[in-house]
Amino acid sequence: MSIIHLRQINAYLEENYLGLIDLADVQDKNDEEKDQVFRTRSLAAYALKTQAEIEFEASAQYVTDGFKDNGLDAVYYSTVDRVLYLVQSKWNQDGGGSVSVGDTQKFLQGFKDLINARFERFNDKINNKKPEIDQALNDAQTRIVMVLCYTGTQPLSSEVETIIHDVTTEINDTTEILTFKTLRQSNVYSAVARGAEAQPIDLELALHSWGQVREPYMAFYGQVSASEVAAWWHDHFPQIFSPNIRVYLGNTEINEGITETVLTSPEKLWYFNNGITALCANVARKPIGGSGRDMGVLECNDFKIVNGAQTVGSIAAAFDKQPDAVQNARVPIRIISLSDTPEDFGKEITRNNNTQNRIDRRDFVALDTNQERIRNELLLENVGYVYKSGDSLPTGIDGFDLVQATIALACSNNDYSYSVQAKREIGRLWDDMSKAPYRALFNDGVNGPNLWRKVLISRVIDKRLEDLHKDSEGRARLCAIHGNRLIMFLIFQNLKPSILNGVGGLSINEEDEIKSLTDEIYYKTFSVIEEDYPDAYPASLFKNQTKCGHVVARVQAM
């Protein structure tokens, strides 16, 4: 059947990509060679379309295959989801085989060169997308999805799997930055079949402890097994999510908490989690289970999740680690039928479910009496301090907020790990107000006017690093932006006590000293990472406690 499926895939790609794929660079080739190039490039475009959920025309524009592509056949950055997609495609004409070690190594080398901004190693197609790629590389929250797509039927060899695993492990040593996906012929054929038939997602799900709302619109609510939720992810991602909400954001502080609950206390997930909201064109309960409320089976047509993407993704991540643990977890769910609702009611549900009643970890900081004390001390200096979500600075006075205060205190602390955490996930510094790291930063010894001085110092450092970032290229540029918190820590450690321990504004001479020290520390830091970590992705490197400790020791010894 593989040859038949290959023919159908080819026909689908021709139907949707003829006239869209750029073949200008192969016009001197014979027809057979041009056909092969078209198939390879259209396959890359289609892999990009299915993973990033963009249109055929858009996916064709991001194909980069050609001379000096460095193994990258398509490159696309989603600014909405903050995901950088990199694709390599291989068209196996006989429908057999897999991907060679050499092709995989080329793909991974291209990936390493791109994340280190070595644009001189790429063709014009990739360099023409440099502004978008720079935007991706400059954002510490960017996630990277590598997609290896081929029309062979065989899985990747163990040697190829090992190579991929080693690179993924290296990049994800602190947070989950890189995801590697493999699409072989069966996956491509399934996507083509779904696309050709435009099939909605129809699900049957078991709803435990269920209830029903009949007026004004039909809905069901209850608990669904986390293992069933994980199956939705693996079978229907990303189509199962409404295009109006964020996709799974990966290993964020909140998602780590969900995954940890599923793995360590699965029975508590229902109590801790806000749950999932889904919309269906139609939903009906099957007779099985009778009139009892313990368990009901629902038939859902055109099932879409409009709230709970982070919950679903985190459950799937937990399932991939320990499938057995997930069996004991249940998550709250609401399933709303749109069969008799007003026009655009589904959009209203989506919008309001994703904007109302959101509580962040920082909101609990407002309970600390030290925060109000600091605020009052600063008001006497005519400086505003905002630590509650939703508050704003009083009109006519300068000031700062909780995030700026946390960064200044973390980077001026003698423990470099706090500055690393501020870069990795600042919310972790507010985890527990009764102990470190929060209590190490915000305590009775924090003086409001001196905190303002440290914030002003941090602003001078950030502005100077921003200038250095603009004036630099390649890894030097990435060092200025991703290394900003560790560099700030090193600067604070080397400031004169008269500057560090003062209060109020900075003099021009003091600002000049800070700028000069920023230049010195920046160049020392860059020289260390170039010498000791020449191939490390800066966005990952500067979130790694061990490596940052090594950088600190080396810079301080210079």
- Give residue-wise pLDDT tens across range 450-486: 999 999 999 999 999 999 999 998 899 999 999 999 9
Please name each of the domains of the chain with its CATH number: 2-196 (3.40.91), 200-353 (no CATH), 361-556 (no CATH)
> Of 259, 231, 236, nearest to 247 (Cα)?
236
DSSP calls for 222-247: EEEEHHHHHHHHHHHTTTTB-TTS--
Residue 323 has pLDDT above 60, yes or no: yes
Q: What are the two backbone dihedrals, phi and then psi, of residue 405, each rounded to the nearest 5 degrees?
A: -65, -45
Is 208's pLDDT higher than 50? yes
What tokens does 75 get? 């490159």
Model confidence pLDDT, tens digit, residues 101-121: 999 999 999 999 999 999 999
Q: How confident is the model at residue 193 (pLDDT cuts 50, 70, 90)?
A: confident
Please compute the mean of the pLDDT values over residues 324-337 and round it to a whole number.
90
Instruction: Give the pLDDT of residue 289.
Output: 64
Residues 308 and 277 sit within 8 Å (Cβ to Cβ): yes
As a whole number of angstroms, the distance between CA 237 and CA 76 comes to 19
Question: Is residue 359 pLDDT above 50, yes or no?
Answer: no
Stretch 12-28: mean pLDDT: 92
- For 138-164, what is the mean pLDDT? 91
- In angstroms, the CA 131 to CA 216 distance is 49
Distance, CA of 496 to chain centre = 39
DSSP secondary structure string for all residues of 516-533: HHHHHHHHHHHHHHHHH-
Name the residue among 110, 16, 116 with its Cα closest to residue 69: 110
Under the banding of pLDDT at 50, 70 and 90, the label for residue 251 is low
Q: What is the pLDDT of residue 427?
A: 86
Residue 357: the pLDDT is: 46
Spatial neighbors of 461 by CB under 8 A, at least 6 apart, are: 484, 487, 488, 491, 514, 518
Q: How confident is the model at residue 393 (pLDDT cuts 50, 70, 90)?
A: confident
Q: What does the pLDDT look like over 533-558, one tens digit per residue?
A: 998 999 999 999 999 999 999 999 98
Structure tokens at 285: 């309960």
More confident residue, 413 or 361: 413
Mean pLDDT confidence for 438-447: 94
Mean pLDDT of all residues belonging to the chain:
89
Q: Is residue 82 pLDDT above 90, yes or no?
A: no
Predicted confidence band of residue 1 (pLDDT cuts 50, 70, 90): low
Report the alpha-carbon angle 315-52-474, nearest 5: 100
User: In terms of DSSP bridges, do strands 74-78 and 83-90 run parallel, antiparallel, or are they unpaired?
Assistant: antiparallel
Answer whether residue 362 shows pLDDT above 80.
Answer: no
Q: Which of 232, 222, 242, 246 is nearest to 349 (CA)?
A: 242
Given a cut of 90, is residue 195 above it in pLDDT? no
Question: Is residue 325 very low, low, confident or very high in pLDDT (cuts 50, 70, 90)?
Answer: confident
Name the band, by pLDDT with cuts 50, 70 and 90, for residue 355: low
Over residues 488-503, the pLDDT tens digits come to 999 999 999 999 998 8
Task: Say whether pLDDT at 184 is over 90.
Answer: no
